[in-house]
Structures are given as structure tokens and as C-alpha cells.
Amino acid sequence: MENNRPYQFQVNMKGMIELLSEHIYSSPTVFIRELLQNGMDAVTVRKGIDEHHKGRINIIFEGDTLIFQDNGIGLTTEDVHQFLSVIGQSSKRGDLADKDLIGRFGIGLLSCLVVSETIVVESRALVQSSSVKWIGHADGTYNVEVIDQLPEIGTRVILQAKKEWRSLFKKSAIKENILFYGSALPIEVNLIEGGKTEQILDGNPVWLNSESTKEELLAYGKELFKTHFLDAFQLHSQTGELQGVAYIIPNKVNSTASKEHKIFLKRMYLSDQAKNLLPEWTSFVRCVINSNALQPTASREALMNNAVLQETKKELTQCFKDYLKLLSMTNLHLLEKIISIHHMFIKSLAASDAEIINLFEDYLPFETNRGTLSFGEIKENFNQIYYTPSLDDFRQIRRIAGSQKKLVINAAYSYETELIEKIKQNNSVLFIEKIYPNDILEEFEEAEDTNQTIEKFIFKADKVLKKNYCKAEVKRFDPIDTTAIYIADEKALASKNIKSLSQTNNPFAATLQHFKQQEDNMPVLCFNQQNDLVEKLLNIDDEELFEALVNVLYVQALMLGGYTINKKEMDTFNHALYQFVVLGMSSFLPKI
Ligand SMILES: Nc1ncnc2c1ncn2[C@@H]1O[C@H](COP(=O)(O)OP(=O)(O)OP(=O)(O)O)[C@@H](O)[C@H]1O
């Protein structure tokens, strides 16, 4: 029945090439990678039959024509019909292919049509007496013919540069791209032009040679990444069949900067990113890595996220830990240098790894109210260690706690609170506590209130400060030249912000009013009874002068604490200064 007749999918080659060049491959140069990879695979298959066979790829330049020639297994006429002529068909499937061959999708050769109108393949197979020529056209047609026997076993792929891609076919451009994609390949690669041969790869890269010395590895890293690295160490993973080198970057790294590595799969370049393989905390190194077991995505530009990758990631983490451990035993000076530059990343590793905390906690630097100190120094010099997970709180406490001889760590950076809590678990004998600004207030000495002066003062000051959503307290504390300090924890500051927003023309004002503001959350202006000016203020009767002074001390305390001052507070401050001027002038004016 006509209606039930199965139809064959048709492939629109033009669309297919567009798809490859514009969506799947990020650069037209990938045809170089694909040809290198096919040559390498053909040699690997031939080596499977004759292990002594010495593989080689020659790239011959003849004007706008480029010939990629390998001495691999070659293609029979049948192979040509079966593999070259069917898109998505690959000879590289099955256990052996999965293990040793790079190609797998059966689309790589098509990338040549991005830069050349036709692909000509001439091949002499190891197992066939005649040679074959296949011509594939961009419109999806192809021709096959038997040709005179080629002089050697292997395959030649001949491309004719499209006008717009002529520059890519130049020797210098091909050389650059061969080194970019194929520098890890275990095969000799030669460039031949005008009868002259230049060997550009000898098939034995320094970084994959376990006998290479550290000096050789560092020299290679310098050439590859154009950086004089602090140190280098080797990476291994059994699961990922992975080998590589990690180079320590000599300067501070921004965690959001792009992390450039060189990742190879089966010795063929894959990507300079290894997002799912190398965790964020490895940002202090640049790696050159080859894996034979990880799988690429179809574009061959990223790694597939599978169980092998997850296991490999764990084994790589172990390499980093082993390296740091070894340094702690063999080169403490270098370890300290690395930690001083890259502590953010080492801390993040430590936060998730008890073993690293045990080994390195003493070396880790922290920002404290006494400057940056290593945890070892903190432990040695302070019996009581406090930390605060909020930067605002730290800024406040830093000033007050200094005079209280307290050591406070700023644990507001990512992972720091987690890390300090783990250090605390590790060191049960140490006193390590979280601290809030209000805790400091509670530790101040109570004010001396003989004639209920303080009580009256607080009542009057509260009336003034209420306008700025603040309440008054009086205590005795050091340093005595500090008149008052403003204390507001995160909650109090949030309540203050809601209050000030709901008083403006904010469209959400009505909603904000519904947030219940608890008096406990109100910021506090704590006056210092030990201070002379405050002592006088406690006894001032003149209401105008009292209000002006309280307002000036309020804004001054805000400034000292590093808080932002809103418009209303600035107006209050200006008004208070104006009141002072008027009051001051009044004593010079003639009495009527
Ligand atoms: N130089 C070569 N020598 C021998 N066979 C080759 C050569 N180049 C290509 N082939 C054959 O052509 C097939 C298709 O090649 P193509 O590059 O399109 O895909 P692939 O290498 O199988 O997979 P991938 O798309 O992942 O590169 C290969 O599977 C292989 O059988």
C-alpha cells in the first residue's frame, strides 16, 4: 500500500555543513583536528596488526591544495562505501575502538567541507591489492574509482581551499594549528613544502614522559602558557586513564577569571576549559592533561559528565592533596608562599576536607581586627578567638573589640565560617566563639548612676534619637576619648532600612509598614560615661543644646563605625551644626 510505504530520510548537505560550521564546531580550523585524528586512528589500527610499525603523518603544501597523508591501515573500496559515504557511520565502534581510537561519531570528515568544496580521499589498504579514490562533494554526491596502486599503504586526503579560507591553508597557519590540536599525539608529523621537510612533532611530549625532570616540565609550562610558574606537579588518575601536569600560578587569581588549561583526549586537543573535571578551588593552577577514558561530547569540545568523570575528579583531588602534603614535608617555604598567594582556594579545599584542615590550619591566613594573621599566630597569641560571619558586624566589632583586647576574625568570605567551625571541631581545647556587636555592648562596664541622672538622660536622648530609629544607652568603656559608639547587628540595620524606606515615597511603603519592628532590634547609640564631653552632656538642661549635641554625636558615631549616612541623618547633622552656631553667636549679641 502506497500509504504505508516506508520512506528514507533525506539529508540536506548544505544544511548539514551549516550546522557543523556554525553550531557544532567553534572554528573552521577543526578540519585540521579531524584529519590529524583520522590519520592517528588509522596508524593505531595498523599498529594493532604490526606493533613495530612506525606511524607518521605528512602534510604536503601545493599552492591552495593541502594533502594530509598517513601511513595507517588504509581503506578498501568496501570501506569507502560503508564509512566515508554514510554520514554518522564510523568504523571506530566496539571495545577496542572505545579504548584506543579517537573518532567515534562518523561526522569528522564532513568538517573539511567547511573549508573545501570537495574532499578527495586516495587510499591503499593493507589488505587490498588495488588503490581507491573517493571524491565527496558539498551537494551530497560522491564518486568512487579504482586508481593505480599508490606507492605506500595509507591514506591521502586532498583539499582545495575555498577562496575565503586560503589563509588557513598556509604553512604557518597549519603549523600553528597542528601544534595547538596535536601537540600531545604519539606520532611524528612533518610539513613538506617545495621538497623541504620540517618535522614539527616527534611524538614524545615532555609532559607525558614520566622521566621528565621538574626543570623540563617548568620550561615546557613556560612555553605553553607563557608564564613563569611557581612550581609544577604531576597528575594521575587510574579511572580516567589520565596523566598530566599542574602548574602553580605565581600571582593572585580572580576566581571569576576564565581558567585556561589544555585538555587532551586520547592525545588529541579537546578544550582549554575543564569545568566539570577540575573543581573551582583548583583555580590556582593551570593544567595540561591527557585522558584515554573520559568521553567527549559530539562537538569534541567538552567532556561528558559521567561516572568515570566523577571518579576521575576525586582522584585528581587526591593528587592536589598529596602534592600539598609533600610540600609540607619537603619545602615549607614554597608551601607558605603558595598559601599566601592562593589562600582563598586552599581554604575552600580545606573547608570540605578534614585532612587538609589538620595539615594546614596553622598556615591559613585570616583577616582579623589585628590585621592579617595566620591561624597558627592567632592560636599562639590569643586565648579567646571570636569570629563573625557578617562583614558589617566585623567592621563594627573591629573598632570596639580592639580596645577590649579581643581577637575577632572576619569570616564573611565564602567558606570561612564553615572552615572556622571545622577548625573549632578539630581543636576542642581552643576557645572559638561566634560574636555579634551586641555581645560587646553587654560586656561594657555598667554606668554609675547616683541621682538617676542616667535614667533621665536616656529618657531625653531616646526622644531625640527615635527620629533616626535608634535608642540610647550609657556604659563605661575604653578608649575614653570615644564619646559614643553606634551598635547595630544585621537585623537592627535591616529594621532601620525598612523603617527609612517606609517613610519615603517608596511604592512598597504600605507593605513595608506591615513588617513588625521589634524594639530589641533597634540600633543602639551607646554613650561613654568615661568621656568628659558625655559627662557634661549628662547634666545639660538646655533642650536645644542637648538635642544638637546628641545629634552630632549620633552622626559622628555613624561615621566612625563606617556606616553610610542617609539624607535624613545628614539633614539632622546640618541642623545641629546650625543650632550650635546660633547658640554660640547668642553670647556675643548685645543683650536687649
Ligand atoms: N585517514 C584515514 N584512514 C583510514 N580510514 C579513515 C581515514 N579517515 C577516515 N577514515 C574512515 O572514515 C570513517 C569516517 O571518518 P570520520 O572522520 O567522518 O568519522 P570518525 O573518525 O569515525 O568519527 P568522528 O566523527 O568522531 O571523527 C572512519 O570511521 C574511518 O573508517
Ligand-binding annotation for 34, yes or no, is: yes
Query: Is residue 106 lining ligand 1, measured as CB closer than 6 Å?
Result: yes
**Distance, CA of 423 to CA of 344 (rounded, Å):** 16
In angstroms, what is the span from residue 108 Cα to ligand 1's centroid? Answer: 7
Q: What is the pLDDT of residue 40?
A: 96
Contact present, 231 and 271 (Cβ < 8 Å): no
Task: Tell me which of 13, 30, 66, 83 to substitute to probe ligand 1's pocket, judged by most ligand atoms within 8 Å of the beta carbon.
Answer: 83
Enumerate the β-bridge partners of residue 191.
Answer: 59, 198
Ligand 1 pocket, 268 CB below 6 A? no
> Rounded to an integer, what distance in angstroms lies between the CA atom of residue 272 and that of residue 270?
7
Ligand 1 atom 29 nearest Cα = 90
> Can you give the pLDDT at residue 520?
61
> Quick one: which atom of ligand 1 is closest to the CA of 102?
26
Q: Is 81 in the pocket of ligand 1 (CB under 6 A)?
A: no
Q: What is the DSSP letter of 202?
A: -
Nearest to 406 by CA among 392, 388, 429: 388
* Residue located nearest, by CA, to atom 30 of ligand 1: 91
**Pairing outcome for strands 371-374 and 268-271:** unpaired
Does any ligand 1 atom lie closer than 6 A to the CB of residue 389?
no
Fold held by 13-200:
Heat Shock Protein 90 (3.30.565)
For the chain, the first-to-last Cα distance in angstroms comes to 121
Q: How many CB atoms lie within 10 A of CB 429?
A: 4
Atom of ligand 1 nearest to the CA of 300: 26
**Phi first, then psi: what are they for 268, rounded to 5°?**
-110, 135
How many other C-beta atoms can be found within 10 angstroms of the C-beta atom of residue 181? 21
The atom number, within ligand 1, closest to the CA of 106 reads: 19
Q: Indicate if ligand 1 lies below 6 Å from the C-beta of 122.
A: no
With a cut of 50, list the residues of the chain below it in pLDDT: 512, 515-516
Q: What cell was used for 46?
A: 595498523
CA of 52 from ligand 1 middle (Å) equals 23
Does the model's ipTM exceed the 0.95 cut?
Answer: yes
Q: What pLDDT shows up at residue 481?
A: 87
Give the fold, CATH level 3, of 446-488+523-586: Four Helix Bundle (Hemerythrin (Met), subunit A) (1.20.120)
| CATH of region 336-441 | 3.40.50
Ligand 1 within 6 A of 203 CB? no
Amino acid 411: pLDDT: 94
pLDDT by residue (tens digit) across 506-562?
555 555 455 445 556 789 999 999 999 999 999 888 888 899 999 999 999 888 877
Q: What is the pLDDT of residues 315-341, one digit of tens each?
A: 999 999 999 999 999 999 999 999 999
Ligand 1 proximity of 398 Cβ (cutoff 6 Å): no
Residue 510 pLDDT: 55
> Shortest CA distance to 57 belongs to which of 198, 207, 226, 244?
198
Indicate the top mutation candidate among 38, 142, 153 to test ligand 1's pocket, ranked by most ligand atoms within 8 A of CB: 38
Q: Looking at ligand 1, which residue's alpha carbon is closest to its atom 7?
A: 38
Strand order in the sheet with 285-291: 231-237, 242-248, 285-291, 262-265, 268-271
CA of 56 to the centre of ligand 1 (A): 17
* Ligand 1 contacts CB of residue 547 (under 6 A): no
The pLDDT assigned to 276 comes to: 87
DSSP codes of every residue in 407-449: EEEE--STTHHHHHHHHHHH-TTSEEEE--HHHHHHHSEEPP-
Tell whether residue 70 is among the known ligand binding residues: yes
297 annotated as a binding-site residue? no
Which residues of the chain are in CATH 3.40.50 domains? 336-441
Buried/exposed code over 78-114 (b: 16+ C-beta within 10 A; e: otherwise): ebbbebbeeeeebbbeeeebeeebbbbbbbbbbbbbb
Give me the half-sphere count of Cα atoms (radius 13 Å) on the Cβ side of residue 280.
14
**Residue 91: CB within 6 Å of ligand 1?**
yes
Tell whether residue 300 is among the known ligand binding residues: yes
Q: Ligand 1 pocket, 34 CB below 6 A?
A: yes
| 75 pocket-lining for ligand 1 (C-beta < 6 Å) | yes
pLDDT in the model for residue 500: 63
Instruction: Kindly report the CATH class assigned to 206-314.
Output: alpha beta
CA trace torsion 543, 548, 551, 557 (10° rounding): -120
The rounded distance, in Å, linking the Cα atoms of 469 and 156 is 83
Q: How far is the CA of 415 from the centre of ligand 1 (A)?
A: 48
Q: Where in the chain is the domain with CATH 3.30.565.10?
A: 13-200
C-beta of residue 138 within 8 angstroms of C-beta of residue 88:
no
How far apart are the C-alpha atoms of 380 and 279, rounded to whole Å? 33
Interatomic CA distance for residues 79 and 438, integer angstroms: 80
C-beta 104 within 6 A of ligand 1: yes
Residue 395 annotated as lining a ligand binding site: no
Is residue 461 lining ligand 1, measured as CB closer than 6 Å? no
Helix 490-503 to helix 391-403 angle, to the nearest 10 degrees? Answer: 120
Decide whether any atom of ligand 1 lies within 6 Å of the 108 Cβ: yes
